[in-house]
Structure 1
Amino acid sequence: MRPIIEFCTNNMHHGTAEVMKKLEQSPDYDVVEYGCLGNCGECYLFPYALVNGETVAGETAEQLMERIMEKIKELEEMDRVLGDG
């Protein structure tokens, strides 16, 4: 299953626009941008995204990218173990 990575437009001031652009270049992910994801507290404090509905955050946009990739690997492993991949 292709991971769905969701970004909040209001979070772009943390540098997440660059992360989103990088991820959009891969055909392996579905990247979606919303006006609001309803996580205003997190959105205000740090860069974050949702990966298959789970919040992934970092102190910087670069760290967010690393954590998104870690989460995707975790999901891929889970799919392999469960035989869904």
Structure 2
Amino acid sequence: MQPMVEFCLSRLTPDVLKVKEELERDPEIEVLESPCLGNCELCAQTPYAMVNGEIVTGETQQELLANIYAEIEKQQKQMEDLFDLL
């Protein structure tokens, strides 16, 4: 399953835009923009994205990118573990 990372258009500051652009260069990741992800309070406070519906934050551009990749790895591991049970 290809990971999907969503960004709120209201939070596409220059640093978040750089994260989005870097992720778009990865053919294994689907990157989407949404007019609103429904997390307005969080959106006003910190850079964030949603990875397959899970909120991921980061105080800096580098931290957000690292946290997104960490969440993708975590979710992929959970899927692998689930398939191992079957």
- Fold-level match, TM-score > 0.5? yes
Deviation at 1:73, TM superposition (A): 0.7
Partner in structure 2 of residue 76 of structure 1: 76
Partner in structure 1 of residue 50 of structure 2: 50
Query: Are 2:55 and 1:29 aligned?
Result: no
Segments of 5+ residues of structure 2 without an aligned counterpart are: none
Deviation at 1:41, TM superposition (A): 0.9
Cα distance between partner residues in 2 of 1:31 and 1:12: 13
Secondary structure of the residue aligned to 1:26 is coil
Work out which of the two has the higher radius of gyration on C-alpha atoms and give 1 or 2.
Answer: 2
Q: Kindly report structure 1 stretches of 4+ aligned residues shifted beyond 6 Å.
A: none
Deviation at 1:14, TM superposition (A): 6.1
Secondary structure of the residue aligned to 1:32 is strand
| Length-normalised TM-score, structure 2 | 0.90
Deviation at 1:13, TM superposition (A): 2.0
Residues 14, 46 of structure 1: 8 Å contact kept: no
Segments of 5+ residues of structure 1 without an aligned counterpart are: none
Cα distance between partner residues in 2 of 1:16 and 1:51: 14
Residues 9, 34 of structure 1: 8 Å contact kept: yes
